[in-house]
Amino acid sequence: DTGVSQDPRHKITKRGQNVTFRCDPISEHNRLYWYRQTLGQGPEFLTYFQNEAQLEKSRLLSDRFSAERPKGSFSTLEIQRTEQGDSAMYLCASSLASGRGGTEAFFGQGTRLTVV
């Protein structure tokens, strides 16, 4: 399978614990995005990378959230001191940057986080 893969698919954690999610994009894609989705809502942008550079972060992304993309390949999203409000589906997507017009993003299956 050469699509976007995310690990783990499900995570249950206690409030206050740290969690880390991994995303492996489609290999030739240079852009990688993280989104968060809660029930009944559309995906909400968190951050994106072009190669290894983190080019944009949402103002919604608190200091407890950090993302990395070492070597411009896989990416990790870490949430420190989790809160119940962090419970959501975390989606990763990748795309190929183009000079004009933009291209479609391919999404992984998501990591569902439940903070208890």
Partner 1 sequence: SQQGEEDPQALSIQEGENATMNCSYKTSINNLQWYRQNSGRGLVHLILIRSNEREKHSGRLRVTLDTSKKSSSLLITASRAADTASYFCATAALYGNKLVFGAGTILRVKS
Q: Which residues bind partner 1 (CB under 8 A)?
A: 4, 31, 33, 35, 40-45, 48, 50, 55-56, 89, 91, 93, 97, 101-110, 112
Backbone angles phi, psi at 37, to 5 degrees: -135, 125
Of 43 and 82, which CB lies nearer to partner 1 in the complex structure?
43
Residue written as token pair 């030739």: 28
Give the integer Cα–Cα distance in Å for 46 and 33: 8
Backbone angles phi, psi at 72, to 5 degrees: 65, 20
CB of 43 to partner 1, least distance (A): 5
Of 9 and 15, which CB lies nearer to partner 1 in the complex structure?
9
Q: Are 113 and 86 in contact (CB under 8 A)?
A: yes
CB of 16 to partner 1, least distance (A): 26
CB of 42 to partner 1, least distance (A): 4
Of 58 and 80, which CB lies nearer to partner 1 in the complex structure?
58
Of 40 and 85, which CB lies nearer to partner 1 in the complex structure?
40
Put residue 39 in one of left, alpha, beta given phi > 0 → left and psi -120 to 50 → alpha.
beta
The pair of three-digit structure tokens given for residue 84, joined into one six-digit string? 């119940």
